[in-house]
Amino acid sequence: MIDIEVKEQFQKKIKKNGLKQLHRKLNREPDSYEINLQLGIFYFQKSEISKAIFYLEKAADLNKDHAELQFILANAHKVLNNASKSEVFFKKALALQPENFEFLYNYGLLLHSSNRLSEATEIFEMAIKTQPDNYKLLNDIGVLFHLQHKYCKAIHFFEEAIKIKPDYIVAVVNTGYVYLAVNDLSKAQKVVNKLYINHRKNSEVINLKKKFEFAITKSENVNLDLNTELYFSDQPFQISPLKIIKDFEDKANLQNIGLSVVIPICNERENIPLLYTELLDTLNNLKQAYEIIFVDDGSIDGSGNELEKIAERDKDVKVIYLRRNYGQTAALNAGFKYSRGAVVITLDGDLQNDPADIPILLEKMAEGYDLVSGLREKRKDKMLTRRIPSFIANRLINKLIKGTGVQLRDFGCTLKAYKRGIIKNINLYGEMHRFIPVFAAWLGVKVAEVPVNHRPRINGVPKYNLSRVSRVIFDLIVIRFFSDYLTTPIQFFGKIAAKIAGMGLIVVLVLSCLALFTTLSVSFNTIILLSGILLLTVLQIAFMGLLGEIIMRSYFEGQNKDYYVVKNITNDVTETSQRTLGL
């Protein structure tokens, strides 16, 4: 790794000393590894790659054992289309770290782009030994063998990729193309039929079907040119030098992906396999990298076992196990914390939210919105215990938060899409997950609402009932307080005190009139004393609740503490990537 101290001090030194002073220091110390490295990084950030290479090569000469620096130079020369120099630095990097997956993968891509297919295949096969479960790389090796007309080996690697991830459409489609290339139309038809059942709208599947139909109509002797038809993976391991330089300042972003789907789970064992299948059908058609995060919120019905089975066969699934049941807000908060996606989707685990609506949220977000919330226009819940309380609550919430500029018809719909910047700036407690759009409005972001499908619950027991109404109301009071009076609490308490004082005065006047103008025997001392005690008690409770809320937030946020405890995480790459990146 680039010296961490150099990375941390780089920006400070540039600002303090200036570029000119760095050059003056270099004139005095031309063999300074640190100064040459700093200048190289600086020019990379300015996109002046040729200048950057000049200084980084000097730094590499001064520190020949720095593998990552050799790797950066290899990629930099690749950007400048200097394949021969790029290869020299790739070999230097691999001489220092012969089993480094990123080095091998990117070197293989260079050889592939130079049409040195046999050598590229050899390098990729070395890379797959370091990550034998990398189904995307297995697919790419299959493509290389196909391009060399080694069809049996191509089929072997595609099938290996499919064994690891059966729903990996790219490898399945490529298998179909190989069967077409060898004119094995019966096997090709089986592949096409299998794909067309569940993925008939997928563009890759459609193209394969068209090629198959064309092959059927032609003579058996017609040789189809399919060399350009096979699909490489999305090459998630290809790294540009600009990205590497950027990662010196924020290494944690290396593992970020396009989409994270966060699903809180509490005793939904029968729904989990169905939900997972529906999610795959939707997400595989989005054409972007994704992860699915299930948060097991203390389930006791075997949900954890179902989630573990899924995570074992699908490395894109992460499972977070909480030690006990903390509630939906805590589960979502945990999912947000461990997510990596630029966009985060949330939905319930009871199958009432339809995963097929995820593209609708993303399309609306593409119009420039930062948060898109689902609207359950045709709810499939019970009228008395769910729909009527929800309607009243939504009206009340909109009235109390009118000043925020957010007016939604369905705050309780879990199906929402958030840009990453929103969830990273919001801390949730109690039952406040439903109020995220309100918090987002305070951040100055754009919020929208779109109609989504809502389905009746088939399996399991609903987790919400009328007992939660009071908790939501209390959280709503807190939100109103934090919305308008957080920086001026005396205004909030002053208004309450004024209203209570007014009510107390009215009671005193009424009792005085009754005693003076009627024959009703009223003990003024007793009634006034009881009224005073009651009002004082209410006032103290209100103050204690709000002050406690402020203290609690200061405790958790000031010390960066979570109010839930994670027991275990399956398929978590966060710690691994931090170790890899030197954090």
What does each C-alpha distance from 477 to 218, 394, 400, 482, 485 come to in angstroms? Answer: 73, 14, 9, 9, 11
Averages of pLDDT over runs of 10 residues in the chain (583 residues) are: 45 50 76 81 77 86 85 85 89 90 88 89 91 88 88 90 87 85 84 80 79 71 49 50 39 56 91 92 83 92 91 89 88 88 90 91 88 83 66 72 71 86 70 69 77 84 60 64 57 64 70 70 66 71 66 57 63 46 31
Q: Side by side, which strands form the sheet with 257-265?
A: 447-452, 371-376, 416-419, 341-346, 257-265, 290-296, 317-322, 566-570
Amino acid at 472: V
Whole-angstrom distance, CA of residue 583 vs CA of residue 579: 6
DSSP 324-365: S---HHHHHHHHHHT--EEEEEE--SSS-B-GGGHHHHHHHH
Whole-angstrom distance, CA of residue 439 vs CA of residue 281: 32
Whole-angstrom distance, CA of residue 263 vs CA of residue 355: 11
Whole-angstrom distance, CA of residue 418 vs CA of residue 333: 13
In 344-372, which positions are buried (b, 16+ CB within 10 angstroms) versus exposed (e)? bbbbbbbbbbbbebbebbbebbeeebbbb
Helices (H), 131-182: 135-147, 151-164, 169-181
Domain boundaries, the chain: 4-217, 251-468, 489-558
Q: Which long-range contacts (CB under 8 A, 24 or more apart) does 477-482 make?
A: 478/430, 478/432, 478/546, 478/549, 479/400, 479/401, 479/432, 479/435, 479/438, 480/400, 480/401, 481/546, 481/549
Neighbours of 213 (CB within 10 A): 10
Phi-psi region of 176 (alpha: psi -120 to 50; beta: other; left: phi over 0): alpha
Whole-angstrom distance, CA of residue 177 vs CA of residue 229: 7
DSSP 460-521: S--S--GGGHHHHHHHHHHHHHHHHSSS-HHHHHHHHHHHHHHHHHHHHHHHHHHHHHS---
Q: What is the pLDDT of residue 315?
A: 82
Secondary structure (3-state) at 384: helix
Whole-angstrom distance, CA of residue 74 vs CA of residue 124: 17
Residue with tokens 């096969």: 125
CATH of segment(s) 251-468? 3.90.550.10
Domain 4-217, what architecture?
Alpha Horseshoe (1.25)
Task: State both tokens at 238.
Answer: 């290809």
Task: State both tokens at 249.
Answer: 């300042």
Phi, psi of 322 (to 5 degrees): -85, 150
Whole-angstrom distance, CA of residue 291 vs CA of residue 316: 5
**Which value, in Å, is the radius of gyration of the alpha carbons in the chain?**
31
Strand partners, 353: 454
Q: What is the pLDDT of residue 224?
A: 47
Residue 369 DSSP code: -
